[in-house]
A and B are shown apart, each in its own frame.
Chain A
Amino acid sequence: MFGFLKKNNQEIKIYAPLSGEVVAISEVRDEVFSKKMLGEGVAIIPSSGKLYAPADGTLVSVFKTKHAYTILTDDGLELLIHCGLDTVELAGEGFTVYKNSGDRIRTGELIAEMDLERILAHRKETITPIVITNSDQITNLQFETKTIASGELLLTVFR
């Protein structure tokens, strides 16, 4: 019986896709994220534009506008990495993508790069929410608000 419960209390680790400052998603100045309309998560204010895979999995889609990425991790989490706010309006400007929709990705692999200065020059925020869009399948998540380097442990997700 306890073995069964333990099995259900799985811990999943997600690693920082960007270097920067980790902040609570409730602090993102767009209520679609701060009110968790798309799910639980965390955000990073990037200090570098290099975006790495946060877990092993499949890059389900690279949006045509290159500013958002969806990943299905091998552990079954659906992640949305939304680079910056209102960056859909840039129509791809300031983003370079190295992977394609459907590609297998390994933790730490370079997915894309954003030109932070160019995005800021368009008066867009570069803060990047990382959202678990199937949050109905998780029980809790842990993170620390701190300065983080890409590849370091960002989130521990409990399922």
Chain B
Amino acid sequence: MSNTRLGGDSKIWNRGIMKFTIKNKEGLHARPAGQVVAESKKYNSAIHFIKEGKKYNAKSIMSVMVMEAKLGDIIEIECEGEDSEAALKGMLTILESL
């Protein structure tokens, strides 16, 4: 977790990144993609997955499915916004539960 203070703005934006290894057989295909997006939409933070240098919007089913994260793939979860800490925790929990 890093806190960056934007010049002049009193708001403190949080940004968190964590690595995660896909553990379920199906990967982030249909059902898991739906579950992951339902979770990400609970947060105000911008949430992205990063796989092999490419960034995918975790709030878009299409984007998550296009990522085609399979068993054993390592992805990064990036959350940016005021509730980024809760978002990161929530995203890890849902990914672990798949």
Contacts and interface: CB of A to CB of B under 8 A. Distances in A.
Contacts of A134: 60-62
Most buried by B among A61, A78, A80, A133: A133
Contacts of B68: 61, 63-64
Interface residues of B, number: 14
Chain A interface extent, by class: 10 to 19
Interface stretch (B31-39, B43-51, B79-87): B31-39
B65 A80 contact: yes
Interface string A35-58: 001110000000000000000000
Interface in B1-44: 26, 29-31, 33-35, 38
B31 A133 contact: no
A88 B28 CA distance: 12
Contacts of B33: 38
Interface of A: 32-33, 37-39, 60-61, 63-64, 68, 70, 72, 78, 80, 82, 88, 133-134
Given A80-B65, A133-B60, 13 more contacts: A32-B31, A32-B34, A37-B31, A37-B35, A60-B62, A61-B68, A70-B62, A70-B66, A78-B61, A80-B61, A80-B62, A88-B26, A88-B30
